[in-house]
């Protein structure tokens, strides 16, 4: 049985009702740095995306799941992106939307569920993530889940006219 349920949260597929939630996240300029977004998204575009979200990860090379608590409140999202079937790897992105929901273990629990799912059900060999050098919370979370820092990419991302360094973290299946 595939289970994406944890002690405090569960991961679920996107639903049409997530339109406002995703629209708010995608248009929050404070997180564009971590999502590589440079322009706002319309509700029309997000609605089209939601209509296609049922497609298989092997076809669209991405899996986006909502992090939800057991009161069915959407807390954030976790993604597999750049799914590479040939090389059995994918990137991981995660966001807990509200500041007051961060540092409560939701992201850690979601990441553990996604890692287990990726290795057990998708047959991936490795996961990777890119983390800004100053994002200590993400560095700690991914490190605590077994991801290893395998390099610093100098001047990798441009934010408000300033180039920032970014780490590459990898988790290779035992």
- Is position 113 within any domain? yes
What gap in Å lies between CA 39 and CA 19, rounded to an integer?
17
- Is position 84 within any domain? yes
- Is position 47 within any domain? yes
Whether pLDDT at 74 is above 80: yes
Task: Please write the tens of the pLDDT for every residue from 123-141.
Answer: 999 999 999 999 999 999 9
- Is position 154 within any domain? no
What gap in Å lies between CA 63 and CA 79, rounded to an integer?
6
Whether pLDDT at 1 is above 50: no
- Is position 4 within any domain? no
Could you list the residue range(s) of the whole structural domain that residue 86 is in? 9-127
Identify the CA nearest to 97 among candidates 128, 140, 71, 66: 66
User: 61 near 82, Cβ under 8 Å?
Assistant: yes
- Is position 158 within any domain? no
Give the CATH number, domain containing residue 27: 3.40.630.30
pTM above threshold 0.75: yes
Confidence (pLDDT) at 3: 65
- Mean pLDDT of the 26-42 span: 71
Whether pLDDT at 115 is above 80: yes
Whether pLDDT at 167 is above 60: yes
User: 163 near 155, Cβ under 8 Å?
Assistant: yes
The angle subtended at Cα 100 by Cα 144 and Cα 62, nearest 5°, is 55
Split at pLDDT 50, 70, 90, the class of 36 is: low
Confidence (pLDDT) at 158: 86
Specify the higher pLDDT residue, 42 or 88: 88
- Is position 163 within any domain? no
Confidence (pLDDT) at 45: 75
Total structural domains in the chain? 1
- Is position 161 within any domain? no
């Amino acid at each position: 049985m595939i289970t994406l349920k944890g002690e405090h949260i569960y991961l679920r597929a996107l639903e049409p009702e997530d339109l406002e939630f995703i629209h708010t996240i995608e248009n929050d300029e404070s997180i564009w740095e971590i999502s590589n977004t440079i322009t706002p998204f319309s509700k029309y575009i997000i609605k089209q995306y939601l209509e296609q979200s049922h497609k298989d990860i092997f076809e669209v090379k991405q899996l986006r799941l909502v992090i939800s608590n057991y009161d069915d409140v959407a807390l954030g999202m976790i993604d597999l992106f750049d799914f590479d079937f040939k090389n059995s790897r994918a990137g991981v992105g995660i966001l807990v939307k509200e500041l007051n929901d961060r540092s409560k273990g939701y992201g850690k629990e979601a990441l553990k569920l996604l890692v287990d799912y990726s290795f057990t059900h998708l047959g991936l060999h490795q996961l990777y993530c890119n983390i800004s050098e100053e994002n200590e919370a993400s560095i700690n979370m991914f490190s605590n889940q077994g991801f290893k820092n395998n390099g610093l990419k100098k001047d990798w991302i441009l934010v408000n006219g300033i180039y920032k360094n970014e780490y590459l973290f990898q988790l290779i299946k035992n």
